[in-house]
Structure 1
Amino acid sequence: MPKILSFLLCLSFTITSFVICIDEKEKVLKISTDAATPTGSDFTYICDPVRYAKLKLDIKSFAFCDSKLPYNVRAKDLVDQMTLAEKIAQLGNNADGVARLGLPKYEWWSEALHGLSNVGPGTVFDNLVPHATSFPTVILTAASFNEKLWREIGQVVSTEARAMYNLGRSGLTFWSPTINVARDPRWGRITETPGEDPFIVGTYASNYVRGLQDVAGTEHYKDLNTRPLKVAACCKHFAAYDVDNWHGVDRYHFDARVTEQDLEESFLRPFEMCVKDGDASSVMCSYNRVNGIPSCADPKLLRETLRQEWNLHGYIVADCDSVEVMVTGHKFLNDSNEDAVAQTLKAGLDLDCGAYYPKYLGNAVNQGKVRESNIDEALQNLYIVLLRAGYFDGLPAYKALGKNDICTNRSIELATQVAREGITLLKNDGPTLPLNTATFKTLAVVGPHANSTVAMIGNYAFDPRNPGSPCRYTSPIDGFSTYGKVNYAAGCGDVKCKDASLIPPAVEAAKTADATIIVTGLDLSIEAEGLDRLDLLLPGKQTDLINQVAAAAKGPVILVLMTAGGVDISFAKTNPKIKAILWVGYPGAEGGRAIADVVFGQYNPAGRLPITWYQADYINKLPLTSMQFRPDDSQGYPGRTYKFFNGPTVFPFGFGLSYTKFNYTLNATVPSLSAKLQRFTHCHDLNYMANKTKPTCPAILVSDLQCGEYIELTLVVQNVGGKVGSEVVLVYSKPPDGITGTFLKQLIGFQRVYIAAGASQEVKFVFNGCKSLGIVDNAGNNILPFGGHTIIVGDGVASFPVQVTFHN
């Protein structure tokens, strides 16, 4: 959860007549009402003439309520009618509203990372709406490699959000998703991310954001500043944010020293895709500094990159209390409070999640440190987003949504399906899995996560201090109970498993069971926001539990790992008594059902790891705070992620087994790509290894090319096994040999295909030459290198060369 100030935060829902206060010191939620429980039919929109009549205000005097006018004109009119003090009071997450204009209070902060949650104060659960659908955490969802599924999740979450809004229990602005690249396995927030590959992260981001925001039939508006929004999404945390708290180095003080090459190639790429492809209506800047400058005060990042270069259609918000952190944590330029708010506002920060803007902007204006016009610009960015979301005029398509559209059977089944699609089979000797109910009637289900419920939903789900929970829970022992008789033993008191006193009952259970399932792993006490990991091992006595249970088991042993980050389980991988291993991430509220369905073959797993699982000694080779991706031989640092690390792994990125087998046949390719040079296009130099011959024209800047050339690839994928299943087809590109400092390979495309046993399916890819074959040089330039590139399918199941040439 973002840093929160200690104060009494109150949200007054003017329309529905109830007030919510969160005392952050006492951590208590207090709700008071002075009217009947609101229903969908009671809710109205801001510019409803009936509402203005009840407020005894003349709606005709407020041009911002004239739906015939353009949004920018309406937003300007609203802002122009405010006094300076009224304007400033709207620039914190808990906006005050302006009663004399009929503008109610508005809470900007709601969260929807993998379902609606009560973490942000803008979404409230109570007796009328006690639950919402909880999907698996993002890292497991990403393992499905299923773009369609990612978008569908967003659509379900936004439907529940609009229903909550109609019931007066949420706003329309949701600060999700998290799209930082999982650079290092120790980072505590890997559970929130789509993994280590920038292309996957950006593709997930754009699809999930489209699912949240898109109103059917309006996806391709010419003027994106007027495109309707189902709800407004937010891509965070911008930028180079992936150190939370490691050996005393925390995000409130950390300065991320990043090369222009890594910034362009890895840290910024997902955000560019989120803004350009996803059309995100908001971006959140992060706590950390980037090369000395706090992210939220950097005009190059905010104003130049987000607004001018990428053309953001929306607002920029600070991670909660980031402006305060500039002063108290970073002590940036020894700024006063007024200096800090002036700098961030002028850099392009529109909204402060916190109290610094409302407290200090008035003084900053009076001291001549910032102009009122900067405040006006920020407010107009904010109100245009609310206009697009129907806050002022309503969106008729969603007017009828209400309580019955939350926690539907369809949404619960979708959450279960997402977990099934992400679950990844890492080992299957024999093969042992799937089990069958005829043979395996008694099951020992043991381990600290065997009876897991809350741990399965991860973070940014439901804060147990406040009302609200998933629609229901299905724990692993509940799931396995539908397939056989379960004998449960915890084996450990919790995931930290500090003593061995509970291991013997788990060993005894395994001695008599037809099969033993050990459910272990990590949880938010080990990896979480504000908590980075110190090692890559299972905690405490978990390894002892696994080994002792496996040694004593009568039947086959299946190890189920509930984690976000990778764990070195080499001991289990090589243990012949452990026949199968499944990684299940944090699988959401229906995780127990999904796990059991996979183990007993009701679903054939096809998940693929979205992160590299390193060996335990990896962390001894470089600190978490070293930001580079590329190896540094001078310091003995290995590379990070599959793109730059070529050492031994426990399991590589993209790894995952199936209960069936697939063969690939390369059907058709385009073996060459010729880029046309324009009159003012010049060759760009590129560093080559000393023993390699440098081409006469090594590369061309992508910005100097029209980039209209495409590569086509057609594969036939055949299911040659005996079971129906899905296959994830991964396609990589490799640059010409000899170029120094570039990646080993990079993912450029993927598709998940469902194929019946014995059947085949044609899979076609079309790649843009510049995007798929381009690289970033050490100065941060996007370039297209001359020479022989290679397209690689999967783990080398097929590959072919693509020759890039330039002509006049």
Structure 2
Amino acid sequence: MKIVLAIVSTVLALTASAQDYKSFPMWNPKLSIEQRVNDVVSRLTLEEKVAQMLNATPAIPRLGIPAYDWWNEVLHGVARTPFKTTVFPQAIGMAATWDTNSLFRMADYSALEGRAIYSKAVEQGRTAERYLGLTYWTPNINIFRDPRWGRGQETYGEDPFLTAMLGRSFVRGLQGEDPKYLKAAACAKHYAVHSGPEPTRHSDNFNPTAYDLWDTYLPAFKELIVDANVAGVMCAYNAVDKQPCCGNDQLMNDILRKQWKFNGYVTSDCWAVDDFYKYHKTHKDATVSAVDAVVHGTDLECGVTVYKTLVDAVKNGLITEAQLDVSLKRLFTIRYRLGMFDPVSMVKYAQTPSSVLESAQHKAHALKMAQQSIVLLKNENNTLPLSKKIKKIVVLGPNADNSIAVLGNYNGTPSEIITILKGIQNKVGSSVEVVYEKAINFTNDTSLVYADVSDQYLYEGKKGFKAEYYSNKDLQGEPAVVQTEAGVDHFWQEGQQVLGNIRANNFSARYTTNFTAANDGSILFEVEADDGYKLSVDEKEVLNAWTRNRWGARTYRLKTEKGKTYKLVLEYWQGEGKANVKLKAGNLAQLNYASLLKKVSDADAIVYAGGISPQLEGEEMRVDFPGFNGGDRTTIALPTVQTELMKKLHATGKPVVFVMLTGSAIATPWESENLPAIVNAWYGGQSAGTAVADVLFGDYNPAGRLPVTFYKSDSDLPGFSDYSMEGRTYRYFKGEALYPFGHGLSYSNFNYSGLQLPKTTAANKAVTVTVTVKNTSKRDGDEVVQLYVSHQTKSKAPVRALKGFKRIALKAGESKTISFKLTPEELSLVNETTGKYYQPKGKMQISVGGGQPGVKNKTTSNVLSSSIQVL
């Protein structure tokens, strides 16, 4: 009886506690955030504390704390959400705008859309779902040191200063300017010394010199942490000096927390703490790994596996509960600063209406940034802009009508996507004949010519496939949904609703049918899938995610007998990332070049849209086409098949405009020598096609500038895994680039004059530089004014380094005087031994113009330079 009474008493106490939690200090908005955070942490049990240090945190009903998943993405618009959102150009494209104001506005708009989505999640009780929260793991401010890195597209390029300035604008736009509340929480990643290769990132160890660490790899992080007050930091997979980044003495304890005094939260990259013992082999097991990560200030584990061992670690004396409290206070501080524990009426950002999603203003800015990002690499004999009075234009290439390519990676899903083809069709209307043909793939000219075999699929008396969907990725248990589908052709953004309660995250599906052959011979079945799959014919496995034929495709040739039936079973499972599964049938055919050339023989212009795409480069991908490996590239050369096609097109005598989509530098020596016009359009977002058409036909005057060096060939590059900056990027590369960092042409001409700066200056004093820029043409246009500093010293120093830039609009004939104030740190170098900044005495050269000084591919008529003596 006493036991029963005790249980009843406990239940009543808990019920009362659940009803009265609003009276706790943690819920009192009149108190300081620090007081409220201290209160909530003090009320948590050990098990609850550990659970709150995982990216997917469970609810604590007795305290009124809702479930929350920290994992969200906003690289170039809110990503992977089940709602439609505005998709801006990929990060590398936004960097090509060289416009901090545009990037600020993009982040501001994205945060508003994120707020609207989070409000929907709260209303619908869905805060536990991934990709619906307000903690975004962006921006990626790693230095794009090597163009072979597939994730370089997510960065702001190869220069520390440009990266820092753009990153700062992004953080300020995303987090807002309210003194109390964050609009959203940004996160600087991946800290640090991280930029490929992708296949070995979980086990790589890099040993950068003190000079390279402070001169190249850390400046952008310092800017965002010390000056922009970024809310979070994500530590990287790799190790530095034999310690994993998330448990690194120098990076985490000394620099981040002590020197930079960072008091925000740190999250691991996803499953990075597992790497401690699985791949780096620096720790003996999961428990030791978890303890060491927390001791080094990794507050949150993305991956939800290793930190669960912290409960036993505390009980066994390996770490104290007070050490967990340090991390918990940082984490809850972020949630309080986001207003998650305050009434909506107190948090202006929480009142953001859902009408901001894909608002006209946001879509207009996506188009503006796509336009701004386009870099005109070459334009001989005024080939561009094209005349709108032409009669016929031929549009070719694997990126001409590729909606996946324009969206990049880590992307959202907009209501409408304008491809290059659609943009051109919209531009010229019905008065111009537009002929389209894909012609070739990215790496070969042999494609599957699809056949309509839908009438030959039959299962249990119904045409099509029996489709079974499972809420796990192992095809285990009973399917959650069973239905008949006409074919297998699906694409889901990660987190998007698949069917019922199944979302595109850790799910699986099985598609079953009986295929009856129409004739004797053979037919080819092709599978497209972003994750794991297995195709079986008559209970025998014939194809899986790791098998490809000599064309690089996932195909199986079935020998057929007329009237015979074959059982087909396609099993598919998805973990993280996009979900894409298709089953097509047909036969291979090589491009008929003669037929194609006949189609273009009477064209007024040919637009070839090629390059590469996020289907080939990205994060740790299962891609092994020639020239690509695991998301990275093994060569920077444009795939040979594309060059060969353009040679044939060029031989027709028709003007060929090469529109190149890419997330990184591509070597195009033949194209640059022979084609009259080359336009680099990156992965331009939802309005990429409109922006390209605007540039091609002269409705927009291009002014994008390269945020990376376009090298001539692979021979210009050091080894991919070599993290020394010697010979890398424009700052240390001593060869001649194909297109240098900062390069970009215009339909206007600009002239620089009146460069003014002092002849001498004392060390540790700021220097003001002014210059006048004039648009000497009859056409309005933007110019990107670039300032470079070059030290004339025997000490280690960059060849030159960007230290100022401004994108300005100039009407025809207009002049503007531009001023730069260079800080002592911007005029300093890094000591080779200590990594400390110092300002050397002697001469340094300051150059201002529309590009780098001393390069052949100048973007303006002149670049002005002058020396200054540091006393």
TM-score, normalized by the shorter chain, greater than 0.5: yes
Which piece of structure 1 moves more, 301-310 or 740-749? Answer: 301-310
Alignment of 1:293-692 (within 5 A): 293-333=243-283, 335-393=284-342, 394=344, 395-438=346-389, 440-462=390-412, 469-481=413-425, 482-483=427-428, 484-494=432-442, 497=445, 501=591, 503-530=593-620, 531-554=631-654, 556-575=655-674, 578-618=675-715, 622-630=718-726, 639-675=727-763
Q: Structure 1 residue 622: deviation in Å?
A: 2.8
CA distance in 1, matches of 2:679, 2:596: 19
Q: State the SS of the aligned residue for 1:324.
A: helix
CA contact (8 A) 1:716 1:763 kept: yes
Aligned to 1:764: 819
Q: Structure 1 residue 660: deviation in Å?
A: 0.9
Aligned to 1:244: 197
Counterpart of 1:662, as a letter, is F
CA deviation string 1:453-493 (max 9, x = no partner): 1111111014xxxxxx2131111111111223311011114
Q: State the SS of the aligned residue for 2:150.
A: coil
User: Are residue 93 (structure 1) and residue 55 (structure 2) matched?
Assistant: yes
CA contact (8 A) 2:92 2:152 kept: yes
How many residue pairs are counted as aligned between the two chains?
A: 680
Q: State the SS of the aligned residue for 1:398.
A: helix
Provide TM-score, normalisation by structure 2: 0.76
CA distance in 2, matches of 1:502, 1:374: 68
CA distance in 2, matches of 1:496, 1:401: 48
User: Are residue 194 (structure 1) and residue 260 (structure 2) matched?
Assistant: no
Q: State the SS of the aligned residue for 2:617.
A: coil
Q: Structure 1 residue 327: deviation in Å?
A: 1.2
Q: 1:60 to 1:655 in 2, by over 3 A?
A: closer
Q: 1:65 to 1:546 in 2, by over 3 A?
A: same
Q: Structure 1 residue 541: deviation in Å?
A: 1.1
CA contact (8 A) 2:718 2:728 kept: no
Aligned to 1:73: 35
User: Are residue 157 (structure 1) and residue 245 (structure 2) matched?
Assistant: no
Q: State the SS of the aligned residue for 1:762.
A: strand
CA contact (8 A) 2:752 2:773 kept: yes
Aligned to 2:90: 137
Q: 1:228 to 1:303 in 2, by over 3 A?
A: farther
CA distance in 2, matches of 1:494, 1:572: 16
Aligned to 2:76: 114
CA distance in 2, matches of 1:494, 1:613: 19
Q: Structure 1 residue 756: deviation in Å?
A: 0.4
Question: Segments of 4+ in structure 1 off by > 3 A?
Answer: 52-56, 493-500, 502-506, 773-776
Q: Structure 1 residue 68: deviation in Å?
A: 1.9
Aligned to 1:801: 867
Q: State the SS of the aligned residue for 2:388.
A: coil
Q: State the SS of the aligned residue for 2:267.
A: strand
Q: State the SS of the aligned residue for 2:279.
A: helix
CA distance in 2, matches of 1:461, 1:732: 34
Counterpart of 2:789, as a letter, is S
Q: State the SS of the aligned residue for 1:800.
A: strand
CA distance in 1, matches of 2:230, 2:594: 53
Counterpart of 1:501, as a letter, is L
Q: 1:454 to 1:495 in 2, by over 3 A?
A: farther
CA distance in 1, matches of 2:18, 2:52: 23
Q: State the SS of the aligned residue for 1:300.
A: helix
Aligned to 1:282: 232
CA distance in 2, matches of 1:55, 1:604: 65
Larger radius of gyration: 2
Q: State the SS of the aligned residue for 1:236.
A: strand
CA deviation string 1:732-772 (max 9, x = no partner): 111123x1322101000000010001111111111113323
CA distance in 2, matches of 1:331, 1:759: 63
Counterpart of 1:75, as a letter, is V
Q: 1:53 to 1:214 in 2, by over 3 A?
A: farther
Q: State the SS of the aligned residue for 1:200.
A: helix
CA contact (8 A) 1:498 1:540 kept: no
CA distance in 1, matches of 2:433, 2:263: 56
Q: Structure 1 residue 403: deviation in Å?
A: 2.5
Q: State the SS of the aligned residue for 2:381.
A: coil
CA contact (8 A) 2:637 2:667 kept: yes
Q: State the SS of the aligned residue for 2:738.
A: strand
Q: 1:380 to 1:59 in 2, by over 3 A?
A: same
User: Are residue 722 (structure 1) and residue 818 (structure 2) matched?
Assistant: no
Aligned to 2:101: 148
For 2:766, which of 710, 733, 741 is the aligned residue?
A: 710
Q: State the SS of the aligned residue for 1:771.
A: helix
Q: Structure 1 residue 301: deviation in Å?
A: 1.1
Q: State the SS of the aligned residue for 1:470.
A: coil
CA contact (8 A) 2:408 2:685 kept: yes
Which piece of structure 1 moves more, 767-776 or 144-153? Answer: 767-776
CA contact (8 A) 2:274 2:306 kept: no
CA contact (8 A) 2:797 2:829 kept: no
User: Are residue 732 (structure 1) and residue 791 (structure 2) matched?
Assistant: no
Q: State the SS of the aligned residue for 1:180.
A: coil
CA distance in 2, matches of 1:329, 1:57: 47
CA deviation string 1:196-238 (max 9, x = no partner): 00111111111101110013xx3xx5xxxxx420000101000
User: Are residue 269 (structure 1) and residue 219 (structure 2) matched?
Assistant: yes
Which piece of structure 1 moves more, 282-291 or 524-533? Answer: 524-533
Q: State the SS of the aligned residue for 2:866.
A: strand
Counterpart of 1:627, as a letter, is Y
Which piece of structure 1 moves more, 343-352 or 488-497? Answer: 488-497
Counterpart of 2:758, as a letter, is V
Counterpart of 1:270, as a letter, is A
CA deviation string 1:339-364 (max 9, x = no partner): 10110100111000012344210121
CA deviation string 1:67-119 (max 9, x = no partner): 1222112111101101111111111100013111111111000100001111x
Q: Structure 1 residue 495: deviation in Å?
A: 5.4
CA distance in 2, matches of 1:83, 1:502: 70
CA distance in 2, matches of 1:368, 1:472: 56
Q: 1:776 to 1:753 in 2, by over 3 A?
A: farther
Q: Structure 1 residue 784: deviation in Å?
A: 0.8
CA contact (8 A) 2:197 2:721 kept: no
CA distance in 1, matches of 2:277, 2:642: 43
Q: Structure 1 residue 177: deviation in Å?
A: 0.9
Q: 1:280 to 1:309 in 2, by over 3 A?
A: same
CA contact (8 A) 1:280 1:313 kept: no
Aligned to 2:145: 183
* Identity rate, percent: 33
Q: State the SS of the aligned residue for 1:87.
A: helix
Q: Structure 1 residue 624: deviation in Å?
A: 0.5
Counterpart of 1:328, as a letter, is K
CA deviation string 1:692-746 (max 9, x = no partner): xxxxxxxxxxxxxxx4x21111111000012110000100111123x13221010
For 1:105, which of 39, 56, 67 is the aligned residue?
A: 67
CA distance in 2, matches of 1:449, 1:117: 22
